[in-house]
Amino acid sequence: MRKFSRDRITAVKTLIETLIFERNQTSTMAQADIALIGLAVMGQNLILNMNDHGFVVCAFNRTVSKVHDFLNNEAKGTKVIGAESLKDMVSKLKKPCRIILLVKAGQAVDDFIDKLVPLLEPGDIIIDGGNSEYRDTTRRCKSLKEKNLLFVGSGVSGGEDGARYGPSLMPGGHKDAWPHLKDIFQSIAAKVGTGEPCCDWVGDEGAGHFVKMVHNGIEYGDMQLICEAYHLMKDVLCMNHDEMAQVFEQWNKTELDSFLIEITANILKFKDADGTNLLPKIRDSAGQKGTGKWTAISALEYGTPVTLIGEAVFARCLSSLKDERVQASKSLSGPQGVKFTGNKAQFLEDIRKALYASKIISYAQGFMLLRQAALEFGWSLNYGAIALMWRGGCIIRSVFLGKIKEAFDRNPELQSLLLDSFFSKAVQDCQDSWRRVVSTGVQQGIPMPSFTTALSFYDGYRHEMLPANLLQAQRDYFGAHTYELLSNPGTFIHTNWTGHGGKVSSSSYNA
Ligand SMILES: *[C@@H]1O[C@H](CO)[C@@H](O)[C@H](O)[C@H]1NC(C)=O
Ligand SMILES: *[C@@H]1O[C@H](CO)[C@@H](O)[C@H](O)[C@H]1NC(C)=O
Ligand SMILES: *[C@@H]1O[C@H](CO)[C@@H](O)[C@H](O)[C@H]1NC(C)=O
């Protein structure tokens, strides 16, 4: 047997000891799975949620005393660690570094990215979980890609409670980041059905934040639809708040089963300190933070008829003209002496169906916008996965979204929800009720911008022939914009309508 020299054995022993020492060093230094910057309530809750699922999180805030406060209070007794500086934070992270920013959208995000970049190495990951505009996310994604860093913009929905116990997460950006995030993100996300997480990879660049924006737009639509149903119950059927609460509780057991219907029932029955209903005392002037507006602007930008969300945004704008409306109410009258004489129970069911049908239209429109954005930006979006992401955890969560997921499971390339057999049948079943509600409401002078626009969209969408032939003729008449003949699409011609017009068609002026 060959004998090793004493020197050789000592050398190997030293080497092993050095390796063990270094390993221990690294494991005490680089111990955190992920870092989170921004310790407002959302940030704190997301950290505690990750901690609950076994991840070691390193917390940081620009005001370092906030880190100490958090570790000594909310995070006391957890595995959460803190950092004194960004450099300290990065040194405590396992590789590749994963850093979530939960700071105010806009300049603050760029400022933190600029400070982080010199501290990071190729392959490290920055995730923006704030309410950023998708274009900013696309820009950041591209500029960090040039530096070999992986940027992710993730929609986070569900408010403070969602962040703590299961949000809906909509991550998009540099796809190489996903394998490093999937486990953490899907563990902390809301779960539905047999434990499916409300989180999946959305797509490239700003796709995650775009999907979050559309989610918020749909939320505006859902809320407006419920408000219109409430208005009809209150002013056509003259119901009191407790009666209405009961109706919403009933509706929560139907296809409309959803978070927003549920909280509406609770709001309607809520009593003030004096024992009377609080709701009628609340000033009817709606606020907004802008994400619904962004959805409507994108719809206009990409030429997609997302009419219901648009109307929901405008309804908030109209409501906020409270003083002007108070003035107008004194001089502008509505229909006189029309009283509802029909069957109350029947009309309530009509309202429910009108709400359901309009909701289908709104989601069909929202998914149309997603399709158009995917075309525009070359994203490949998984529509079924998006429906599942919204199924739980977020404000628009509902049983209904499970049906949308099923429709995209049946046909991933589905062009419109309205062309799916389940939804076309649902709208068909609702349409008589829907029309009765709209005509009754119009006769009684109740504003129903979302119910009516949804019905107009439906009637427009199902018409083979719309009066746009006249529109094309008008454009050609006054501006020589040319038109196509039904018998020869693709060929644009101009007609000498007046007998004194020229032959030259317009190319620079487009009306
Ligand atoms: C720091 O924490 C406060 C709340 O304590 C939060 O409002 C702020 O956004 C955080 N800012 C940053 C940049 O970490
Ligand atoms: C609404 O339905 C859900 C179950 O789908 C239930 O958890 C919730 O308590 C219901 N809410 C109301 C107010 O009835
Ligand atoms: C348009 O029609 C009138 C009357 O038929 C004719 O006099 C005129 O030349 C036409 N214009 C052109 C540019 O063809």
- What pLDDT is recorded for position 505? 62
Here the CATH number for the domain that contains residue 145 is: 3.40.50.720
Instruction: Sort residue 54 into left (φ over 0), alpha (ψ -120 to 50) or beta.
Output: left
Q: Which ligand is nearest to the CA of 496?
A: 3
Q: Are 180 and 223 found together in one domain? A: no
| 118: containing domain | 34-201
Does residue 24 sit within a domain? no
Give the distance (Å) from ligand 3 centre to CA of residue 501.
Answer: 7
Q: Which of 205, 219, 228, 255 is catalytic?
A: 219
Give the distance (Å) from ligand 3 centre to CA of residue 416.
Answer: 46
- What pLDDT is recorded for position 23? 45
Q: Are 421 and 350 found together in one domain? A: yes
Query: What are residue 196's DSSP bridge partners?
Result: 192
Q: Are 308 and 418 found together in one domain? A: yes
Query: What are residue 59's DSSP bridge partners?
Result: 36, 82
Q: Are 247 and 390 found together in one domain? A: yes
Here the CATH number for the domain that contains residue 428 is: 1.10.1040.10
Does residue 346 sit within a domain? yes
Does residue 207 sit within a domain? no
- What pLDDT is recorded for position 290? 82
Altogether, the residues listed in the chain come to a count of: 511
Q: Which of 477, 496, 505 to mutate to test the pocket of ligand 3 (most atoms within 8 A of CB)?
A: 496
Residues 6+ apart with CB under 8 A from 81: 31, 32, 56, 57, 58, 59, 71, 92
Here the CATH number for the domain that contains residue 487 is: 1.20.5.320
Question: Which of 201, 225, 255 lies at the terminal end of a domain, its last residue?
Answer: 201
What do you get for the CA distance between the two ends of the chain, in Å? 96
Decide whether any atom of ligand 3 lies within 6 Å of the 490 Cβ: no
Q: Are 103 and 150 found together in one domain? A: yes
Q: Are 347 and 368 found together in one domain? A: yes
Query: What are residue 394's DSSP bridge partners?
Result: none
Q: What single-letter amino acid sits at 38? A: G
The two three-digit tokens of residue 361, written as one number: 């239209």
Decide whether any atom of ligand 1 lies within 6 Å of the 63 Cβ: yes
Q: Are 325 and 431 found together in one domain? A: yes
Give the distance (Å) from ligand 1 centre to CA of residue 65.
Answer: 10
Q: Are 282 and 333 found together in one domain? A: yes
Q: Report pTM.
A: 0.90
Q: Are 166 and 268 found together in one domain? A: no
Does residue 208 sit within a domain? no
Q: Which ligand 3 atom lies nearest to the CA of residue 502?
A: 13
Decide whether any atom of ligand 3 lies within 6 Å of the 502 Cβ: yes
> Three-class SS of residue 271?
strand
* 94 close to 121: Cβ distance less than 8 angstroms: no
Query: What are residue 126's DSSP bridge partners?
Result: 99, 151
Closest CA to 450 of 379, 322, 360: 360
Q: Which of 42, 58, 66, 73 to mutate to test the pocket of ligand 1 (most atoms within 8 A of CB)?
A: 66
Domain total for the chain?
A: 3
Question: Which of 176, 201, 226 lies at the terminal end of a domain, its last residue?
Answer: 201
Q: Which ligand is nearest to the CA of 59?
A: 1
> Three-class SS of residue 59?
strand
The two three-digit tokens of residue 375, written as one number: 């075309």
Give the distance (Å) from ligand 3 centre to CA of residue 499.
Answer: 5
Q: Are 89 and 194 found together in one domain? A: yes
Decide whether any atom of ligand 3 lies within 6 Å of the 77 Cβ: no
* 144 close to 150: Cβ distance less than 8 angstroms: yes
Closest CA to 54 of 23, 92, 80: 80
Give the distance (Å) from ligand 3 centre to CA of residue 505.
Answer: 14
Q: Which ligand 1 atom lies nearest to the CA of residue 41?
A: 4
- What pLDDT is recorded for position 21? 41
Q: Annotated catalytic, 219?
A: yes
Does residue 15 sit within a domain? no
- What pLDDT is recorded for position 12? 64
Q: Which ligand is nearest to the CA of 259?
A: 2
Decide whether any atom of ligand 1 lies within 6 Å of the 61 Cβ: yes
The two three-digit tokens of residue 403, written as one number: 């049906």
Q: Are 88 and 221 found together in one domain? A: no
Residue 15 to residue 11: CA distance in whole angstroms? 6
Question: Which of 201, 223, 239 lies at the terminal end of a domain, its last residue?
Answer: 201
Decide whether any atom of ligand 1 lies within 6 Å of the 362 Cβ: no
Burial class (CB in 10 A: 0-12, 13-18, 19+), 225: buried
Does residue 5 sit within a domain? no
Mean pLDDT per 10-residue section of the chain, whose length is 511 residues:
63 57 50 97 98 98 96 96 97 97 97 98 98 97 98 95 96 98 98 95 97 97 98 97 98 96 98 96 91 95 98 97 98 92 97 98 98 96 95 94 96 95 98 98 97 98 98 96 97 92 57 53
Does residue 13 sit within a domain? no
- What pLDDT is recorded for position 338? 83
* 458 close to 364: Cβ distance less than 8 angstroms: no
Q: Annotated catalytic, 95?
A: no
Q: Which of 262, 267, 401 to mutate to test the pocket of ligand 2 (most atoms within 8 A of CB)?
A: 262
* 199 close to 302: Cβ distance less than 8 angstroms: no
Does residue 415 sit within a domain? yes
Lining residues, ligand 2, CB within 6 Å: 249, 252, 257, 262, 265-266
Give the distance (Å) from ligand 3 centre to CA of residue 494.
Answer: 12
Q: Are 314 and 358 found together in one domain? A: yes
